[in-house]
Amino acid sequence: DGGITQSPKYLFRKEGQNVTLSCEQNLNHDAMYWYRQDPGQGLRLIYYSQIVNDFQKGDIAEGYSVSREKKESFPLTVTSAQKNPTAFYLCASSWDRMNYEQYFGPGTRLTVT
Amino acid sequence: QKEVEQDPGPLSVPEGAIVSLNCTYSNSAFQYFMWYRQYSRKGPELLMYTYSSGNKEDGRFTAQVDKSSKYISLFIRDSQPSDSATYLCAMSATNFGNEKLTFGTGTRLTIIP
């Protein structure tokens, strides 16, 4: 089955701790994206990557970091510098020239207390 | 003012009714217009996309774009309880992987059996 997997589904952390969210795809897509979804707000882009070892900041990159060492994997680290980390995080991928057709993972709900 | 405005609802309609969902936008550079459906606690999935103006039909779904009015719509005919979900509009100026999608906040739809 082709698709995107995110783990874990629910994550709880104490304030001040870094946490890494996993995203893996086996669709052979070039581009991968990380979004954050909060109630009453649209999806907001955190980071995106078009090719391995290259990634770009999105609209709300502060307090987050990513890596793209393999085409299939695009992990997101939420650092202690992120002021409001509690949110629903979504990973997506697409062909490079088809950004309109993004395939999303099931999401990770992060709660920081 | 947000680039994309979408009524958050919630919208409740009886089964079998025609549903109309809408978004307005301000950026005249947008050329790709998408509708994503998101079930509760899941990632969004692409429902339809339209390039430039006009109508596009897929089964019970019709997407309509009016670039002169900067207004897009999604119509659902013969609505079913399984259509109950949040519908997100999204837009992009190009189809390249480095072009971000701008999402609306989503409209929560409930179809009452």
Q: Which of A28, A102, A103, A108 to mutate to test the interface with B (most CBs of B within 10 A)?
A: A102
Q: What is the pLDDT of residues B43-63, one digit of tens each?
A: 999 999 898 888 999 999 999
Region A20-27: what's the mean pLDDT? 96
- Please judge whether A102 and B46 are an interchain contact, meaning their C-beta atoms are less than 8 angstroms apart: yes
- Please judge whether B42 and A59 are an interchain contact, meaning their C-beta atoms are less than 8 angstroms apart: no
Region A36-45: what's the mean pLDDT? 90
Report which of A91, A90, A95 is spatially closest to residue A50, judged by C-alpha positions.
A95
Tell me what pLDDT residue B105 has: 93
pLDDT at A59 over 70: yes
Tell me what pLDDT residue A2 has: 67
Contact B103, B4 (CB under 8 A): yes
Contact A35, A93 (CB under 8 A): no
Tell me what pLDDT residue A1 has: 58
- Please judge whether A48 and B92 are an interchain contact, meaning their C-beta atoms are less than 8 angstroms apart: no
Which helix H or strand E contains A57, and what residues bound it?
Answer: strand A54-57
In order, the DSSP letters of B16-66 are T--EEEEEEE--TT--EEEEEEE-TTS--EEEEEEESSEEEEETTEEEEEE
Tell me what pLDDT residue A34 has: 97
Q: What is the pLDDT of residues A65-109, one digit of tens each?
A: 999 999 999 999 999 888 999 999 999 999 877 788 899 999 999
Tell me what pLDDT residue B97 has: 66
**Spans of chain B below 70 pLDDT:** 97-98
Region A38-60: what's the mean pLDDT? 91
